[in-house]
Chain A
Amino acid sequence: DVKVTQSSRYLVKRTGEKVFLECVQDMDHENMFWYRQDPGLGLRLIYFSYDVKMKEKGDIPEGYSVSREKKERFSLILESASTNQTSMYLCASTTDRGGGYTFGSGTRLTVV
């Protein structure tokens, strides 16, 4: 069964910490995405990548960066965590940019 795996389901971090969220897919997909989801705001795109070593800013990239050194792995980095980054983070991948996305189970991050 094809899947997108996010390294943690729950994380609690302190303000100012550097946080790494890892995402791995086993489907050989070129396209990978990081979203955050907040009540009433829906899914908002943080960063995406259409190829290895390539990254593009989404709608809300401030305070985040990404890394894609290998095709199957796309990491989201919170440079200095803040309480307003408390959220559900979702990674997704697809082989066809317009096709259905496969999402991971999500990481619920709490910054205290």
Chain B
Amino acid sequence: SQKIEQNSEALNIQEGKTATLTCNYTNYSPAYLQWYRQDPGRGPVFLLLIRENEKEKRKERLKVTFDTTLKQSLFHITASQPADSATYLCASYSGGYQKVTFGIGTKLQVIP
């Protein structure tokens, strides 16, 4: 079955820098990769989705890439702000009746 690996260690970066989070998947290439933001004690909020045939997707300060050779997706937040501090979850969907598989998330702390 598919497994999603995210760096479980927290990522600390300085305000204004670009934060880059990594999501690796094992086995087969997913049809879609999704990224969510989760604040403490709240449900995840969907941010972006990228399809297997897309290399890059952007939304405002967010950028997601999908590299099927490396079996990896990168999630970038440019000009990061303290308000971007949260846990970011990666999820994979393989198509049809397959379920979405979530990673455990990476906690991002943006330091003023």
Interfacial residues, chain A to chain B (CB-CB below 8 A) = 4, 40-43, 45, 48, 50, 58, 88, 90, 92, 97-106, 108
Residues of A within 8 A of B103 (CB): 42
Residues of B within 8 A of A98 (CB): 31-32, 49, 93, 95, 100
Q: How many residues of B contact A (CB 8 A)?
A: 25
Bound together, the chains give a CA A15 to CA B31 distance in angstroms of 42
Which of B41, B43, B99 has the most A CB atoms < 10 Å from its CB? B43
Q: Are B43 and A106 in contact (CB under 8 A)?
A: yes
Residues of A within 8 A of B102 (CB): 42-43
Which label, helix, strand, loop or mixed, suits the secondary structure of the B interface? loop
Which residues of B (8-25) have their CB < 8 Å from a CB of A?
8
In addition to A40-B8, A42-B104, 17 A-B residue pairs with Cβ atoms within 8 Å of each other are A42-B102, A43-B44, A48-B99, A50-B97, A58-B99, A90-B44, A97-B96, A98-B49, A99-B32, A100-B34, A100-B36, A101-B100, A102-B46, A104-B43, A105-B43, A106-B42, A106-B43
Q: Are B46 and A100 in contact (CB under 8 A)?
A: yes
Closest 3 pairs between A and B when the two form their complex, measured CB to CB: A100-B46, A103-B43, A42-B104
User: Which of B36, B98, B104 is close to A40, meaning CB atoms less than 8 Å apart?
Assistant: B104
Bound together, the chains give a CA A98 to CA B43 distance in angstroms of 18
Bound together, the chains give a CA A101 to CA B99 distance in angstroms of 12
Residues of B within 8 A of A48 (CB): 99
Bound together, the chains give a CA A88 to CA B103 distance in angstroms of 16
Bound together, the chains give a CA A45 to CA B97 distance in angstroms of 14
B3 to chain A, nearest CB (A): 11
User: Which of A42, A50, A97, A106 is close to B93, meaning CB atoms less than 8 Å apart?
Assistant: A97
B 78-112 binary contact with A (CB < 8 Å = 1; else 0):
00000000000100010111111011110000000
Known: A103-B44, A108-B41. A43 touches B49 (CB 8 A): no
Residue in B closest to A101 when the chains form the complex, CB atoms: B46
